[in-house]
Amino acid sequence: MKKTLLAIISGLLLSLTANAQGEYLPPFAKNKIYVASSLSGLGLSYNANEKWNLGVDAKGGWLFEDNWMVTGTLGYDYRHCGSNSLLLGAGARYYIEQNGLYLGAGANYVHEHNFDDLRPTVQLGYAFFLNRYVTVEPELYYNQSLKSHSDYSGFGLRIGVGIYLY
């Protein structure tokens, strides 16, 4: 009887220990930190004012609730024709059903030589996990210029690499 009771207690302790060490957190769980960089342009974006550009962005975020992230962006766009621009933005993302598909929205302040603009943006992307922390994130986006819709509004494709930290 003592051996049976000892075996049951040992089994319970082992199962509790194994469960605590192997605790699974969903990929987009609350309180994760997000860091990313991305490239845009490369002939894969369009607006009436530019023919070719290369955009480099750095993004940080925090999942304040499961599947909901607040983000901040700092970017630089190089244009072959025209002036280069700096970008500072804030936004939010919603991850759909823990599968990696996300919807995003935000606003970007864009500064060019003698030109400032506020551009609301929407995104549709997918976070493809390479391992437990690192993602490749293709994203379609649309930027709406409030200063000159016909010249500076546009859409494009952005490719990024993200890291989700606990």
End-to-end CA distance of the chain: 45
Q: What pTM was computed for the model?
A: 0.77
CA distance 107 to 123: 11
DSSP label at residue 31: T
- Cβ atoms of 128 and 114 within 8 Å: the answer is no
Q: In tens digits, what is the pLDDT along the chain, a chain of 166 residues?
A: 556 655 555 554 444 444 444 466 788 889 999 999 998 876 556 665 666 678 899 999 999 999 999 999 999 988 777 778 899 999 999 999 778 899 999 999 999 888 899 999 999 999 999 998 999 999 999 989 888 777 778 888 899 999 999 8
CB–CB of 52/30 below 8 Å? no
Which residues, in sequence order, are CB contacts of 144 under 8 Å at separation 6+? 119, 120, 121, 153
Right CATH number for 33-165 from 2.40.160.20, 3.30.70.141, 2.60.40.10, 3.50.30.50? 2.40.160.20
Cα dihedral 44, 45, 51, 54 sign? negative
Q: What pLDDT does residue 43 have?
A: 58
pLDDT at 20 (0 to 100)? 43
pLDDT score, position 46: 61
